[in-house]
Homo-oligomer: A and B are copies of this chain.
Amino acid sequence: MAVKIRQSKQRDAILAILRQSTAHPTAEDVYKQAREELPDISLGTVYRNLNFLADHNLIRRVKTKDNTVHFDGNMTPHYHFVCENCGQIYDIFPTTDATAKLISEVEMTGHKVHYSSINFVGLCAECANTLEVQEHELKEH
């Protein structure tokens, strides 16, 4: 028998937080924000709902170098760029069909791709600028 899915203000609030944010919060971040609206919500509930939503493809899990999971409420296809210096996660939206080509490459092997997780790590535009300036200042001495 199929499991019935029921609505709850906690789950609605968590989904709304993720839909409104582009910051890729962790479970703890979501918990803090949810408590502003629902002061009695528990961390366990936040975890349960984040897992529930991710398993039902309503949000995405994003893993970074540090060993914690971040969440993303934006379900349009995109990649993530993680800055090695500041740790920020940027959304990158495809402008070509490069991903489709990649997937057809993978499916040549007989595997069936359900979804892809494409991450880039490096130095973000902002940090690259800052570090350049610092290097320049060092050379002056």
Which chain B residues lie closer than 8 Å to A109 at the CB level?
A: 81, 90, 92, 125
CB pair A98–B94 under 8 Å, yes or no, is no
CB nearest to A96 among chain B residues: B105
Q: What's the number of copies of this chain in the assembled complex?
A: 2
- Which of B112, B113, B118, B128 is A110 in contact with, Cβ under 8 Å? B128
A105 in contact with B113 given A61-B65, A63-B63, A69-B67 (CB within 8 Å): no
Interface residues of A (CB under 8 A from B): 61, 63, 65, 67, 69, 79, 81, 83-84, 90, 92, 94-96, 98-99, 101-103, 105-106, 108-125, 128
| In contact, B110 and A115 (Cβ under 8 angstroms) | no
Is there an interface contact between B105 and A112, defined as CB atoms closer than 8 Å? no
Q: Closest chain B residue to A68 by CB distance?
A: B67
Q: Which residues of B lie under 8 Å from residue A123 when comparing CB positions?
A: 111-112, 114
User: Nearest Cβ distance between residue A86 and chain B, in whole angstroms?
Assistant: 11
Q: Which of B90, B92, B95, B105 contacts A98 (CB 8 A)?
A: B105
Contact B110–A114 (Cβ < 8 Å): no
